[in-house]
Amino acid sequence: MNVSQSPIAAEIAEHLRELVALPSLDQAEAVQRLVNARPYVEDRRQFGASDLWQTPLAFWANGGDCEDYAIAKYMALRVLGFSDAQLRLTILTRRGDHEVHAVLLVAVGADWYAADNLRRGLRRLDGYDGWKPEFSVSD
């Protein structure tokens, strides 16, 4: 798709252009803030379905839930030059109540960070307690 054909794609591209010259960790933090600023909307309320994964453009326009935030962050970081090996869309369950949640794991140097829509900033994975990874996917 040509960015000029989609106002939403053009808006996202403009935000990402501002981040190109930043160091990788700063890019990941900026994407975390940018995407987390979109509205949270549960799938049941938005679509009448229990779980629907959206494209980043649909999410940007309509808001979404945890996996939509993670997918949008994944795509934004890929556009910024992060490799597939640096990104993992990860499904977690919370220890205790087994709530299911999606985050994006981001590798910068030797460290992994969780980009979570429930948190303002990135959190180093070694300090991300209370959750058990179930599976991760990438490209």
SS3 string of 62-128?
HCECHHHHHHHHHHHHHHCCCCHHHEEEEEEEECCCCCEEEEEEEEECCEEEEECCCCCCCEEHHHC
In sequence order, the β-bridge partners of residue 111 are 108
- CA atoms of 26 and 52, how far apart (whole Å): 30
Q: If you average pLDDT over residues 5-34, what whole number do you get?
A: 95
pTM for the whole structure = 0.92
Summarised one tens digit per residue, pLDDT across range 71-89 is: 999 999 999 999 999 999 9
Q: Is 2 a residue whose pLDDT tops 60? A: no
- CA atoms of 25 and 21, how far apart (whole Å): 12
C-alpha separations of 107 from 21, 40, 47, 80, 115 in Å: 18, 25, 33, 14, 11
pLDDT at 80: 98
CB 101, CB 91: distance < 8 Å = yes
Beta-strand pair 131-137/100-108: unpaired
